[in-house]
Amino acid sequence: MMYEIHLYVPKTGRLTPAMIDWLYAHGQDPHQPERFWPVRRLRPLVLARHMLRLDPTLIAARGAVGDDVELHYPDPDMGIVLYVHDRGVIVFFPFMAYSVYSRVVLGICNVYIRHLYLAAGFWSYDPQLNTLAHAGDYRSMEETAVLMDMLMPRLLAQPNQKGDSSNGR
């Protein structure tokens, strides 16, 4: 099961719940006029190259749509993927609990998130916690770790349900 954090560059310099609601309602509609979009359009290939300069060990792969790019952390056991698309970045990593390992994975993800905030003004939205944050907010990463610690035992106790699409995409 994958955890995800969405990163966007708001046009106003601040991400709000109304903007997230608009993105969930209209973000898949390619016919929306640019003036309605609350977040900036990005060039995925340029952003992916920027991230590769930060961490040249990332492994780039073609994304699912258009110019989208997947950047995989070089250690596949970590399970970290940055999915770069034309409106933002989605950071994927596996749900884990009760270990230093989860804090290490969150720390690596936090480096990427903080870099994107400082370099380009990206804000984050955590749909699992329904939390908006900027990268200077370390508290939100700790809340993510606490959530994983609380939820993982319950998730492991549940029988796998047919049709469960837990990859978050």
Chain-centre distance for alpha carbon 161: 25
CATH of the domain at 77: 3.30.310
Residue 163 lies in a domain: no
pLDDT band at residue 168 under the 50/70/90 scheme:
very low
Residue 77 lies in a domain: yes
- For the entire predicted model, the pTM comes to 0.81
Residue 126 lies in a domain: yes
Fill in the amino acid letter for 114.
R
DSSP characters over 117-154: HHHH--EEEETTTTEEEETT-HHHHHHHHHHHHHHHHH
**Beta bridge mates, 82:** 71, 91
Residue 159 lies in a domain: no
* Both structure tokens of 107: 């720390």
Number of domains in the chain: 1
The mean pLDDT value for 100-128 works out to 87
Give dist(CA 90, CA 85) in Å, integer. Answer: 8
| pLDDT at residue 6, as a whole number | 95
Residue 78 lies in a domain: yes
Residue 12 lies in a domain: yes
Any idea of the CA torsion for 133, 135, 138, 140, to the nearest 10 degrees? 30
Helices H / strands E in the chain, number of each: 4, 7
Which residue did the predictor score with more confidence, 161 or 33? 33
Residue 166 lies in a domain: no
Residue 120 lies in a domain: yes
Domain limits for position 97: 2-26+34-152
| Sheet strands side by side (includes 88-94) | 59-62, 69-72, 81-85, 88-94, 2-8, 123-126, 131-134
| pLDDT at residue 166, as a whole number | 42
